Chain A
Amino acid sequence: MKRLIIAIVLAVPVLLAGQSSPGLDPASILQPLAANWPTYSGDYTGRRYSALTAINRGTLDRIGLAWTTRFTAGAGPDGLGNGVPTGGRGGSAPVPVVVGGLGTGELNTGGPAAIRGSILVVDGTLYVSAPDNAWAVDARDGTVLWHYYWKTRGGTHTGHRGLGMWHGYLFMEMHDDYLVSLDAKTGHERWRREISDFDQQYFSSMAPVIVGDHVLVGTGDDLDAPGFLQSFDPETGALQWKFYTVPMKPGDPGLETWSSLDAARHGGAQVWVPGSYDPDTHLYIFGTGNPTPAYTVGRGEGDNLFTCSLVAVDVETGKMAWYFQTSPHDMHDWDSTQTPVLADAPFGGRPRHLVLTATRNGYFFVLDRVTGEHLVTTKFGSAANWALGIDEKGRPTRNPAKDATIPGSIVTGSTTNWPPPAFSPDTGLFYVPENNSYSIFYLMDPDPRGSMGLGGTQSAAVALAGNFITAIDYRTGKAAWRHELVGGGGATGLLATAGGLVFAGDGAGNLVGFDATTGDAIWHARIGDVSNAPETYELDGRQYLLTAAGDGLFAFVLNDESR
């Protein structure tokens, strides 16, 4: 009886919080992606496939710019957060800056924002992030509602990948290793929690993924520190579990694939891109990063588990259910962190629960996501030359001659990277940026102890070999179409829609709409270098197309024929 009372007392604040700021019901993320964009990939499947159809092949020529807003990072001209002239080009009123963080403000004084992640869309409000900064924005006209600015202590400032939301609360990783929870209405900080050790040179930029009452966060590091995924309580910030992606103690699985426990504990496998979630199995499926040292000896000749792997973890317990290594003993810093796509689709004559991923090493994989059983491996990087073939488990077999060598080896570059792929259940096609290039990789530090981090090597880019958006048939792994991007750059992340369209930046300053079936470019707007994956949402019965280009957000809307 006593225990029951305590349980009720503890539960009350949660209920009150939920009632006072309804915000986003986590269960709604389980719905097919349509009006809102409530999590990093839109929904948990990682498909970036919207059910909205108003913008389609027949109506695409009727979309036009609804609004654009430019964002300025930092505390503003007086450094105190007063009167920052942020907002729409139309001249929305300045908003005060809510300032947090433990730094002095000297390291990130501000300037044009770099918007390189997902934007949440929840009930008419957008939640936008850039390194050390977050904004709430009116989805109807781009007006900035509040601005949160974090004075950083430092850290490697990569692109920031976005926010997570649970009821009325937002969650944001900071590059100096804090997870911060904000009140979605005001931008005021609720709590902050250090999620990785800044002294060990971790840096954190992943968009938190909220599943039920779990805030899933990964972090990054280049200095030979172990990777991990953590789950926090969205209400209190308390740690629920921590899953290491490399062996940390004697007896841990995978230890035999390293030269020593010390090597494993310094082996990397960072978790810096969001994964996907299967509500049927409660498995969160995500990719892990490269081993360290990345380019040299120093970790034995084994596979170095669980680096460069697809890993399925039970979201309630943090225990691993299965793994599949997509790049055994990687020697090129080719993280396999790419967001996997979950698809329920026929395979081999029967419906299967699949997971699809196209990794940075140029290979495409299909697995059964319940069991981890391997089904398909193909090479989608048409030039990829680093592997000898595919082994009996479906893994590419590394060619050691294509490691960095002292006299130099000619090796293809990253075929794809963090920009997310998309998948349309209508076409059965998996859409992914495919970049082909050649570099000479030199080993600069032949020390038998190995180097550290990304050290010990130099590479020289020597030739382009074509950049594409490639549509892969998941059943065969073969390309149904490849659209070459002739402007010289590579594609951004992708969006697929039930309107039969695929959207992406083309690396040449255009936001482009492609026919999802043929790959034909049928619409574009030259808005500058698109810097995130396009998204779509619906408001007041009208479908919007949203993307970022540097410090600007651009919202296109389908104009009603009757207006």
Chain B
Amino acid sequence: MRFSRIVFATSIGFASAALVTGVNAQRGTPPPSAPATVPSPGRGPNFPQQQRALADPAVIARGRGLFGVSCASCHGHDLRGGDQGGPNLLRSSVTLTDQHGELILPIVHGARAANGMPPVPLPDADVIAIAEYIHSVLAEAGRQGRPPEADAPDPDILVGDAAAGRAYFDAHCTACHSASGDLKGLATRVADPRALQNLWVSGGGGRGRGAAAAGPPITVTVTPASGTRVEGRLVRIDDFVVTLIDGTGARRTFTRHGSDPAVAVHDPLAEHRQMVARYTDADMHNVTAYLVSLE
């Protein structure tokens, strides 16, 4: 609810290794989260379900089997609820509060029959094993209320029309890019279509805070009212200071007073980024469908 949780588009060989940084760098928010598949450190202590000691693996394994036989048809094989109306057990106040089956046991034995939960005639030890299995699943839940990782493969994002994508590419991209030149073998270098799409839409460059990110360098021209024009790679800029590294490798910092010195920033990817506002989602899907053919 409260963070910028943006997975940053990591580029692999489109222009050069680079990272889009600095987007929505709200003060007071933690670093952007990693993809769900990568555990994200630095989020601090966690909740009771992730802290408690789990039961013996044999008990959990037995509970898993019992759950599949007696519970999954209503509560879902993944505990997230089922077609027959059983509630999601991963967000249930009962399972979240229960320690070792003491709250679950009476419900399994009929305490909520009036609410539609039929009594299930299981021995207490079996119900407790099921409870311990549920707790083992709760322990695997992701950050910010995400369910545990599923086994399901990521959905296929390739829905676009490659021919239409090629036409779009020919009309809008060939001034700078070529399928037989800089983009030759692109789909081999970036095999995952989602990563490829993130890469080409972002342009693979970056303009983070201080423009320190790799990629085609952002340059700046500084022209004092009285003095010589200086050009170089942009290190940092704000309303008050601009810093660059000039052709000799020297670091030069200028104090800014309004329009003196005149400062002109040249970002090779500026146009690429401005194009993002103009793509329709269909354009994007079509171009991606075309680019994955550049093996």
Give A contacts to B, CB under 8 Å.
Answer: 103, 107-108, 114, 116, 131, 152-159, 197-201, 220-225, 262, 266, 268, 270, 272, 289-290, 292-294, 333, 335, 383, 385, 401, 405-410, 413-414, 417-419, 435, 437-440, 442-447, 449, 451-456, 458-465, 485-490, 492, 505-510, 512, 521, 524, 526, 529-532
Contact = CB atoms under 8 A, between A and B. Distances in A.
Contact of B281 (A156, A410, A464, A530): A410
Contact of A407 (B2, B208, B236, B281): B281
Q: Which interface residue of A114, A154, A294, A488 has the most chain B CB atoms within 10 A?
A: A488
B1 interface: yes
Interface residues of B, number: 81
A509 B197 CA distance: 33
Contact of B96 (A154, A201, A508): A201
B93 interface: yes
Contacts of B143: 156, 222, 454
B4 A413 contact: yes
Interface string B132-156: 0000000001111111001010111
Contacts of A270: 1
A290 B9 contact: no
Nearest to A117: B28
A487 to B, nearest CB: 4
A460 B1 contact: no
A442 B91 contact: no
Given A154-B51, A156-B144, A222-B145, A417 B1 contact: no
Given A262-B87, A453-B145, A459-B7, A417 B208 contact: no
22 contacts: A154-B50, A199-B97, A221-B1, A222-B143, A222-B145, A223-B141, A293-B145, A406-B155, A435-B24, A437-B23, A454-B145, A455-B145, A456-B146, A460-B194, A461-B202, A464-B273, A487-B237, A488-B207, A490-B24, A507-B27, A508-B237, A510-B238
B26 A419 contact: yes
Contact of B9 (A107, A445, A460, A486): A460
Contacts of A272: 1-2
Nearest to B25: A489
A442 B159 CA distance: 13
A532 B28 contact: yes
B59 interface: no
B239 A458 contact: no
Interface string B6-46: 11110000000000101111111100100110000001111
Contacts of A293: 145
Contacts of A418: 2, 28
Given A488-B211, A489-B22, 5 more contacts: A154-B50, A155-B46, A406-B157, A437-B23, A452-B80
Tell me the dominant secondary structure on chain B's binding face.
loop
Q: Which interface residue of B25, B45, B48, B142 has the most chain A CB atoms within 10 A?
A: B45
Contact of B80 (A107, A335, A449): A449
Interface of B: 1-9, 20, 22-29, 32, 35-36, 43-51, 76, 80-81, 87-88, 90-91, 93, 96-97, 141-147, 150, 152, 154-160, 194, 197-198, 201-203, 207-211, 236-241, 273, 276-277, 279, 281, 284-285, 288
Given A410-B281, A462-B201, A508-B238, A492 B2 contact: no
A154 B45 contact: yes
A45 to B, nearest CB: 23
Q: Which interface residue of A225, A453, A507 has the most chain B CB atoms within 10 A?
A: A453
A461 B281 contact: no
Contacts of B284: 408, 410, 440
B5 A459 contact: yes
A414 B44 CA distance: 24
A223 B4 contact: no
Contacts of B26: 414, 417, 419, 435, 490
B238 A108 contact: no
A454 to B, nearest CB: 4
A490 to B, nearest CB: 6
B239 A383 contact: no
Contact of B28 (A159, A453, A463): A159
A521 B238 CA distance: 11
Nearest to B279: A410
B214 to A, nearest CB: 15
B137 to A, nearest CB: 12
Contacts of B208: 488
Given A154-B46, A266-B91, A453-B146, A409 B281 contact: yes
Contacts of B160: 407
B145 A437 contact: no
Nearest to A158: B2
A197 B141 CA distance: 18
A334 B154 CA distance: 25
Contacts of A532: 27-28
B146 A442 contact: no
Given A407-B281, A449-B76, A510 B27 contact: no
Nearest to B242: A486
Contacts of A152: 45
Contacts of B277: 383, 385, 438, 463, 465
A420 to B, nearest CB: 11
A222 B144 contact: yes
Contacts of A262: 87
A103 B87 CA distance: 32
Contacts of B8: 460-461
A506 B285 CA distance: 36
B115 to A, nearest CB: 11
Contacts of A417: 2, 4, 26, 29
Contacts of B159: 406-407
Q: Which interface residue of A418, A490, A505, A506 has the most chain B CB atoms within 10 A?
A: A490
A506 B238 contact: yes
A413 B23 contact: yes
A508 B242 CA distance: 12
Given A489-B25, A490-B25, A529-B27, A156 B147 contact: no
Nearest to B35: A458
A443 B238 CA distance: 37
